[in-house]
Amino acid sequence: MRNRGAGLSGRRFIAAVLAATLVPALVLAHHSFAMFDRERTQMLSGTVREFQWTNPHAWIQVVVTDDTGAMHEWSIECGSPNMMARQGWKSRTLKPGDKVALMMHPMLDGSPSGSLVSVTLADGRVLGPGGAPAPKTGNAPPPK
């Protein structure tokens, strides 16, 4: 007769080995910031289209009008909702139609996306990205 317990233990062992080797690689890949130009900080001023309070990172979709009057939607990556909540963010901090001014590290490829450095709300409050507090200086002025 076959020992069913031994086969199950073997499968569990293989699953544990796979998890132990694959999960760290996925975590490292997830937390890469290589796509952002961390040497440059860019200011955007616009209107919130959507605030996505989701794991693993929150996102701000903001519509920006350029100098020619054309409208462009930007996707700004924030920290995790858990870390953002520790800095005063709430799921309803930003609502569609809110005016914001933000500082972000743009994408290296020039696409309309970036990593949040700080956001200045219409009431003058400045919030950081979630992983770190907002810088003391160099923040965007309140939106108009």
Q: Decide if 130 contacts 83 (C-beta within 8 A).
A: yes
Please tell me the distance from the alpha carbon of residue 103 to that of residue 16, in angstroms, as a whole number. 42
Please state the rounded mean pLDDT for residues 109-121. Answer: 94
pTM reported for the whole predicted model:
0.74
Instruction: Name which of 64, 89, 91, 88 is nearest 76 in CA terms.
Output: 64
Q: Which residue would you say has higher pLDDT here, 36 or 27?
A: 36
Please say if the pLDDT value at position 8 is more than 80.
no
Paired residues of 102 in beta bridges? 44, 119
Band (23; pLDDT cuts 50, 70, 90): very low
Give the torsion sign (CA, 142, 65, 80, 34): negative
Residue 41 pLDDT > 90: yes
Spatial distance between the Cα atoms of 86 and 130, rounded to a whole number of angstroms: 8
Decide: 81 and 91 in contact? Cβ < 8 Å. yes
**Is the pLDDT at 27 greater than 50, yes or no?**
no
pLDDT digits (tens, 9 = 90+) for 43-85: 999 999 999 999 999 999 999 999 999 999 999 999 999 999 9
Least confident stretch, 36-50, 81-95, 102-116, 124-138: 124-138
What distances in angstroms separate CA 85 from CA 2, 48, 101, one per listed residue?
54, 19, 20
% of residues, the chain, pLDDT over 70: 77
Residue with tokens 């199950």: 8
Mean pLDDT taken over the chain: 84
